[in-house]
Chains A and B, each alone.
Chain A
């Protein structure tokens, strides 16, 4: 069964550095998402992406964050200048269509540690 893949599985970076988290969604899916989960807390929506543009973003997704789908397969999340509080698991997810009961397919996540 096709899967959403995320790389790397663990990224350590220093505060103030830029980081790019990479995702390859399932190939025929149309909607793409980033979520984050601070350790021990709930999963929070960051951004959704459809038709090559952001369709919705949360308050967390400020100017330090950006997303791109540069080549039709990869879907990246960039954090321009990381802060300690950006340390979290970041999950990429994709959806085949806008039918509501289609489940989101999640990747295994990237654990980001900012030191």
Chain B
């Protein structure tokens, strides 16, 4: 079974600075998808960014980018120019590309605090 590990339970960053959130996963599959979700205090799950394992190019979405290292099974999220609104729980998630299993497997999450 696939597992997702987020080893840092909490991090903090100064407003306008850059922070990197780490995530590793374990799988025997070669094709899969990776996601970062944000959960603000409202508890809604919001997609931040996604990455297809077959793509070598790292995904970027405005201030958010990933460093995807397939051989190391690592998928870190970089937040540039951090804003107060980035404060939230961040979850890394894995989905198999094999048919019949579209479920997401989540890591335990990491709480990000942004200091003004």
Contacts and interface: CB of A to CB of B under 8 A. Distances in A.
Interface of A: 31, 33, 35, 41-45, 48, 55-56, 89, 91, 93, 95, 98, 100-101, 103-104, 106-109, 111
Given A100-B32, A101-B50, A103-B35, A56 B43 contact: no
Given A101-B52, A103-B35, A103-B50, A56 B100 contact: yes
B16 interface: no
A48 B102 contact: yes
29 contacts: A42-B107, A42-B108, A42-B109, A43-B45, A43-B91, A43-B106, A45-B103, A45-B104, A48-B102, A55-B100, A56-B103, A89-B43, A93-B45, A98-B99, A100-B31, A100-B52, A100-B96, A100-B97, A101-B33, A101-B50, A101-B52, A106-B37, A106-B44, A106-B45, A107-B44, A108-B43, A109-B43, A109-B45, A111-B43
Q: 5 smallest A-B Cβ distances: which pairs?
A: A106-B45, A42-B108, A43-B106, A103-B47, A100-B33
Given A43-B45, A108-B42, A100 B95 contact: yes
**What size tier do the contact residues of chain B reach?**
20 to 34
What DSSP secondary structure best describes chain A's contact surface? Answer: strand
Given A101-B52, A103-B50, A106-B45, A42 B91 contact: yes
Given A89-B43, A106-B45, A100 B102 contact: yes
B105 interface: yes
A44 B45 contact: no
A48 to B, nearest CB: 6
A41 B32 CA distance: 24
A66 to B, nearest CB: 18
Nearest to B34: A101
Contacts of A31: 102
